[in-house]
Amino acid sequence: MVSPEQEATTYQSVVATVDEADVEALEERLWAVGAMAVSCEKIAGEDHFAEPNVLQSSANGWQRTRVSGLFPRQVLAFEVIKQLPPGRDYKICELAEQRWEETWRRDLQPIEIGERWWVCPSWCETPAGAKEVIILDPGRAFGTGRHETTLLCLQALLRSSISAQSVVIDYGCGSGILGIAAAKLGAQVLATDIDPIALECARENAAQNDVSLALHEDPEVIQTKADIVVANILLNPLITLAPHLVSLLKPGGHIIFAGVLNGQCDDLRRAYAHAIEFQPAVLKAGWALLEGCLRS
């Protein structure tokens, strides 16, 4: 006979504490073997990752990270562990459905991003006095507004001069949150990502927000010229993609970059110095946002 406590335990978590350099590989593997959610948390009482799929540099990032994958109870966790990278001390934790859902929803409340704009999970009421709301639930792609880099990009878009004539490219769109914000501001938006799951999420989120995104699955062949290119990705891709991203700008076009740490700003500026005149960086909790215009 199944006890009430066992009946309520409908989820289980596979957990391992790993070095920072191993975080990304373990995250990707957990998703690949069917995790419903993956979370990362620094140990020793430090702040947790606000969103998945963010890899820090070893010089400035965290040394040890607790990585957890959430699975339904009927999944055999020991079989899952056999498919994960070897040499880790994996633990299995059982989670009561009520506790997990209540904690998840309690922690994911509306976030004000500025000018009475909010990012709001679908289960929450619209905040009083809200001018505009982006409805977005956590899902399979990066970008819910809770990570500093996403928030910095959203605030930069709100500061920009977007109109109905504006073309915005959301490069590496993840959940599509930045493209959705630009569309709500009136822009024509092209959103692109190399991950087909991200594109699927972006499509679903755009529909939930009653906006249209032109989705493109091959970022490096895009030739559309944009008034604004926004890219919330890591330093190395931003540097590698410099010629391509610059080529996407209209004369006088504007670029918004995030996903870099404070100490990486100079490297990013050097990669674009020939083409972009940058403003002073905007810093938040160790992260930096760089905005600039195409040199005439």
> What would the pLDDT profile of 220-278 be if each residue is shown by its tens digit?
889 899 999 999 988 999 999 999 999 999 999 999 999 888 899 999 999 999 999 99
Which residue, 225, 232, 236, 228, is CA-closest to 276? 228
Which residue, 80, 90, 92, 94, is CA-closest to 16? 90
Q: Mean of the pLDDT values across residues 120-124?
A: 90
pLDDT of 244 reads 96
Instruction: Give one word for 2, left, alpha or beta, with left for phi > 0 and alpha for psi -120 to 50.
Output: beta
Phi, psi at 245, each rounded to 5°: -65, -40
Per the model's pLDDT, the better-predicted residue between 75 and 262 turns out to be: 262
In the 8-state DSSP scheme, what is residue 205? H
pLDDT in tens, 128-163: 999 999 999 876 666 777 778 899 999 999 999 999
Q: Mean of the pLDDT values across residues 2-29?
A: 71
Q: Mean of the pLDDT values across residues 196-214?
A: 94
Largest CA distance in the chain: 75
Least confident of 103-107, 188-192, 199-203, 290-294: 103-107
Share of the chain above pLDDT 70, in %: 84
